[in-house]
Amino acid sequence: MIRKTLVVCLLVLTAAGCGSNGADSSLISKSDRVAATEISANFINSPGLNLAKLKGQVVVLDFWATWCGPCRMEIPTFVKLYPVYHPKGVEIVGLSVEDPNSQPGSYFGKFLNDFSINYPIGFADQNTVRAYGISSIPATYFIDKTGKIATVFVGTHPEEEITAVIEKLLAE
């Protein structure tokens, strides 16, 4: 199952490229979608969160890091969209690829506060990073209500493209 997930993810990432050049809000056909691999993460602000608990919701799973400039550029979009779409059944989850011990204990809390992050944030463990094939960040996985990967964005994307995917998944 993990192998099939990785193959589909690599195909999507290859097709998507980096950034928003030529990207659109196309979704993988329902018959070709694969189940999202369960995440393993140490959450800062949502202990015990996992994908199984989110079944029935659209999930935006964003891999990022505090030192990543493009990630920092995209965070305000997720902060803006969270209060709009969370009540409609969308969960945005940020997974940092950083080692939580790489900075003093207060660093990450201050970062969340400075960026007004209002959605669940955690540190992805290496098994999760490998399972999703993360080699470039930001990498954003859009997971449908059945728990399957519907599309992947690599690099920054405009709010309109993110919103378009969310709207399509909510309509399914």
What pTM did the predictor assign? 0.86
Burial label, 104 (beta-carbon count in 10 A; 0-12, 13-18, 19+): exposed
The 10s digit of each residue's pLDDT in 139-159 is 999 999 999 999 999 999 999
Spell out the residues 6+ positions from residue 71 whose beta carbon is closer than 8 angstroms to its own: 64, 65, 137, 138
pLDDT on residue 37: 95
Q: Are 78 and 62 in contact (CB under 8 A)?
A: yes
Q: Above pLDDT 90, what percent of the chain?
A: 82
Q: Are 146 and 158 in contact (CB under 8 A)?
A: no
- DSSP state for residue 124 in the 8-state scheme: E
When mean pLDDT is compared across 19-28, 50-59, 88-97, 114-123, the lowest value belongs to 19-28
The 10s digit of each residue's pLDDT in 80-112 is 999 999 999 999 999 999 999 999 879 999 999
Number of other residues whose CB lies within 10 A of the CB of residue 38: 12
pLDDT on residue 24: 61
